[in-house]
Chain A
Amino acid sequence: MTVDTYDRRASWRLALRNPLTLISAVILAVIVLAALTADRIAPYGVNKIDVPNALQPPSGAHLFGTDELGRDIFSRVLVGTHASLEVAAASVTFAFFVGVTLGAVAGYRGGWLDTVLMRVIDVMFAFPVLLLALAIVAVLSPGSTTTILAIGIVYTPIFARVARASTLSVRIEPFVAVSRTLGTGNVLILRRHILPNIASPVIVQTSLSLAFAILSEAALSFLGLGLQPPEPSWGRMLFDAQGFVHLAWWMSVFPGLAIFVTALAFNLLGDGLRDVLDPKQRTLLDARRKR
C-alpha cells in the first residue's frame, strides 16, 4: 500500500522494530551522552601525566590502561568522543546545508545553473576524499575548525547529488505544477514542496555521512593534520600509539574500537533508516516481516 509511505512517525516506529537499528540507536545515544558528560565522568584528568604509571595494561584502576606518559586511556577515549562527534556533526551540518541548498536549487532551476554547479561538483568528486581534505588542511593551518571545514567541503558534493537527484523527480510532480499555476514563487515552492519531499534520502545520507566523517577525522588526526595535541582525539591517539604497538596493545586497540563502534552504529542506523524511508525497500521489509 502506498498509503502510509508518507507517515514519517510510522517510519520511525518501524525502524526501531528492527533490532539492529534499535541497538545502534541505543549505542549512539550512549556515545552522545558520554561525549556530553565526558569531562565530569572521566576518572582522571585528560592530560594528567603520571610517568611512574606509564604503559600500564588495563586494570581496575585504569580500565583501558595508560599511555607512555601515564595518562589514563579510558579518560582520553571518553573526552576524545566529544571532539570526534563535534567535528563529525559540525562538518556534516556544513555539508548538509551547503550541499542540499546547491543540489535542490540546481535540480529545480535546471539549465545552465544546473550544468555549471554539477560540473564543479563532478570535479570535486574526482579527487580522493582524503587527498582533497589534505590539500584544504595544508592551505589553512591544522586545527579543529580547519578539520571541520575540510571534511564539510569534501562531503558537500554527496549531499548536493542526493538532493539534486530527488529534486529532479519531485519537481515534475503535478502538485508542483499546480503550485506554479497558482502563482506560487520559486523560493516558496522549494521550501514548501521540494524540501519536505526530498528529506528521506537526505536523512539517510546524513546518518551514513556521519560515519564517514568520524573516520575522516580519525584519518586526518592520525596523519597529524586534524586536531592538535594535547587535545585528545581518537585518530591522534592511534598516531601516538604507533611506536608502542608491540609494547602496549591497549594504546591502539581502545581508541580504534571507539572509532569502529561509532562508525558502525551510524552506518547501521543509516541502513535501517533507508529500509523504512525508501518506499521500495520498505515494501520488501514489510513482506519479509510478515512471512
Chain B
Amino acid sequence: MRKVALSSRDLRVRIGAREILRGISLEVEHGQTLGIVGESGSGKSMTVLAATGLLDAPGAEVTGSSVLMGEAGSAPVQLVGASGRVLRTVHGGRIGFVFQDPGTSLNPLLTLERQISESLEAHRGLTRRSARARALELLDAVGLPDPADRLNNYPHQLSGGQRQRVMIAIALACDPELLIADEPTTALDVTTQAQIIELVRQLQRDFGAAVVWVSHDLGVIGQVADSVTVLHNGEAVEQAPVLDVFDRPQHPYTRELLEASPRIDGDVAPPHEDAPVLLKVSGLDVRYSVTGPVGSTVVHAVRDLSFEIRRATTLGLVGESSSGKSTVAAALTGLVKPHAGTASLAGTDVFTVRRADERALRRRISLVMQDPFASLDPRARVGAAVAEPLYVHQLAKGKRQRRERVAELLELVGLPADFASRYPHELSGGQRQRVSIARALAVQPELLILDESTASLDVSAQANILDLLSQLQLDHNLTYLFITHNLAVVRRMSHDVMVMRVGAVVEYRPAAELFAAPEQDYTRALLAAVPPARPRASADPR
C-alpha cells in the first residue's frame, strides 16, 4: 500500500514585496523519490527549506501547508509555522538532511562518532555506548571502509565522497521517514557521484524512507527520481512521473532544459589531421612545494605530460578533481613555473621565454577561468575589463578606438555594446562568462585555454556558451585547450581528448575513437559514471 510521507500544499514564500515561491504543491510517498529540478534562482532549495520548516531567511514569510504524515504510531505534524520545539523533535529524528557541500556541513572539531551520535542521543535517548554501536552500523551501511577506525577520525581526514557518505549516515541515524538531499552530489566527481546515487537508492530500498532529491542536473534526477517537479522562477511548471517528463515534456521550459543538457551520446567533431601543430608540449612536469605547519611537502601535480594541439582544433582535457588539469593551464599561462619539460607555441618556447618577450607571449595564449563571479574584478566596469588587454598591449590607440574595439568584442560574444558601462554584479553568470571570453579574445590569441569555463553555469547558459565557442572557432579559426570534468561537454567540443588522473595521462586519442571504444579501465569507469540521458526508471521498474 502506498502511503504519503510528506504533503505540501500551496507553499508560498515572500521576502518583502517579492514573491519567491508562488504556490508550490508537492507530495512524496514512502519508498519513493521526488526529484526537484531547476536552474539557479528557481527556488529549489527554498522549496525544501519552506516545506520542512527550516527556512530562516530574514524577513521571509511562509504560507501554505506542509504536513509530515507520519507512519503508524507517529502523528501528522504541520511544519509550516511550527514552533521551534516541535521542529526540533522532527528535524534529525523524522526528517534527515544531506546538503551540497560535505566540506562545511560537518563540524571540523568533532570526531565522526560524536557527529553521528549527536542526533541519536538527542532523539532516541541512547546511551553513549549504544550510540557508538549504532554509529558503527551506519558507517558500515554507507560503505565507509574500516568503519571502526573511522569513528575516531575527524572530517579533514576523509575525502569529499567519504564526507558525503558520513553526512548520509548522520541523516539516516534515526531512521527518518523523509530524507532531504539538496544537491548532494554537485560538489563531487562523477565517479563519486555515481557511488553516492547508488548508495542512496540502496539505502532507500533497505530503510524505506521517502526521499526528496534536489538537483540542477537532469541526468542525476533521471537516475534517482520516481516523479519529478520542474521549477522555474518559483513556480512548478511541470510535475509528472520521471518517464513522462523525459519522454513527453509538456511545458516549453522542460523541453528547453532537456535540449540544453549536453549528451554523452551526441555527435563528435571529426579530427583535423592535416592541420599544422600549434602547441607541442613534451615532458611537462610540475611540482608545488606546500608549506604546512609541520614542514613542507612537495606535491607532484603533473608528471611527464606530452601532447600537441593542431590549429583550429580543440583538445579536451578531462579529469576529476586534483588530476592536475588546471595546473597544465597555469603552466602554459605563466602562473606556475614547471619543474621540467618544454612547450613550443608555433616555434616559440613557452616556458623559457625571456622577460622582454614575455608580454608578447602572453598575447598569444589567453585563459578563461571557471568562476565567472571571481574572474572579473567586482570594482571594474565590463568595458574596463575588456579594455585591459587592449591597454596593456597597446592594441588600440586612444580612448575612442579602445571603446570601439570593446563594443566590437562584446558584439562578438553576443552582448549589447552598452554592457560596457555595467558592473559585473549586474550580469548573470552566463553573461559574465561571455565578458571573460571577450576579454580573452581581445588580444586575438592563437590559443585559448578554457579552464572549466562552463562548469558553474546552468545548463541552458552552458549550452549557449558552448554554441558561442563552437561558432567562434569556425569563424576565427581559434584553437582551444578545453579543460573540464564533464565528459558530455568534452564530447561535444573536442577533436582530441586526453584523460588525466593524478597528474598523468591515462588515455590520449581522437575523440571519436575514445568515446567509441575506450581502452583504459579508468576511462571506461568515467564514461560509465556519467548519468545517461535516459532515466533509470525505464530500465528498472519498481
Contacts and interface: CB of A to CB of B under 8 A. Distances in A.
B374 A175 contact: yes
Main secondary structure, interface of B, reads loop
Interface stretch (B225-233, B308-316, B360-368): B360-368
Given A180-B335, A183-B389, A185-B392, A290 B59 contact: yes
A178 B367 contact: yes
A7 B425 contact: yes
B378 A6 contact: yes
Contacts of B388: 179, 182, 184, 192
Contacts of A177: 335, 369, 375
Given A6-B379, A188-B392, A291 B362 contact: no
A47 interface: no
Nearest to B360: A183
Given A6-B425, A173-B374, A291-B59, A181 B379 contact: no
B377 interface: yes
Given A177-B335, A192-B377, A182 B392 contact: yes
Q: How large is the interface on A (under 10, 10 to 19, 20 to 34, 35 or more residues)?
A: 20 to 34
B58 A290 contact: yes
B265 interface: no
A240 B439 CA distance: 65
A62 interface: no
* Residue from the set B371, B376, B425 with the largest chain A CB neighbour count within 10 Å: B425
Given A184-B392, A188-B392, A286-B58, A178 B378 contact: no
B79 interface: no
Contacts of B335: 177, 180-181
B488 to A, nearest CB: 25
Nearest to A200: B379
B362 A183 contact: yes
A182 B375 CA distance: 13
Interface in B365-401: 365-367, 369-371, 373-380, 384, 388-389, 392-393
B208 interface: no
Interface in A152-206: 173-175, 177-185, 188, 192-193, 196-197, 199
Contacts of A286: 58
Interface residues of B, number: 35
B422 to A, nearest CB: 12
A193 B423 CA distance: 14
B443 A197 contact: no
Contact of A182 (B58, B370, B379, B443): B443
B23 interface: no
Interface string B124-142: 0000000000000000000
B273 interface: no
B371 A181 contact: no
A197 B377 CA distance: 8
Contacts of A182: 362, 366, 388-389, 392, 439, 443
Nearest to B362: A183
B23 to A, nearest CB: 23
A193 B59 contact: no
Contacts of B392: 182-185, 188
Interface string A252-283: 00000000000000000000000000000000
A196 B362 CA distance: 25
Main secondary structure, interface of A, reads helix
B363 A183 contact: yes
Contact of A174 (B361, B374, B384): B374
B376 A181 contact: no
A287 interface: yes
A3 interface: yes
B333 interface: yes
Contacts of B375: 174-175, 177-178
A32 to B, nearest CB: 28
A6 B374 CA distance: 13
A183 to B, nearest CB: 3
Interface in A215-270: none
Contacts of A180: 333-335
Contact of A7 (B361, B373, B423): B423
A185 to B, nearest CB: 7
Contacts of B156: none
B50 to A, nearest CB: 17
Nearest to B60: A290
Contacts of B379: 6, 193, 196-197, 199
Given A181-B333, A183-B359, A286-B58, A175 B389 contact: no
B377 A181 contact: no
A182 B379 CA distance: 18
A178 B369 CA distance: 8
Contacts of A181: 333-335, 362, 365-367
Contacts of A192: 377, 380, 384, 388
Interface of B: 16, 58-59, 333-335, 358-359, 361-363, 365-367, 369-371, 373-380, 384, 388-389, 392-393, 423, 425, 436, 439, 443
Given A192-B377, A192-B380, 20 more contacts: A2-B425, A4-B425, A6-B378, A173-B374, A174-B370, A177-B335, A178-B367, A178-B436, A180-B333, A181-B334, A182-B362, A182-B389, A183-B359, A183-B362, A185-B392, A192-B384, A196-B377, A196-B380, A199-B379, A286-B58
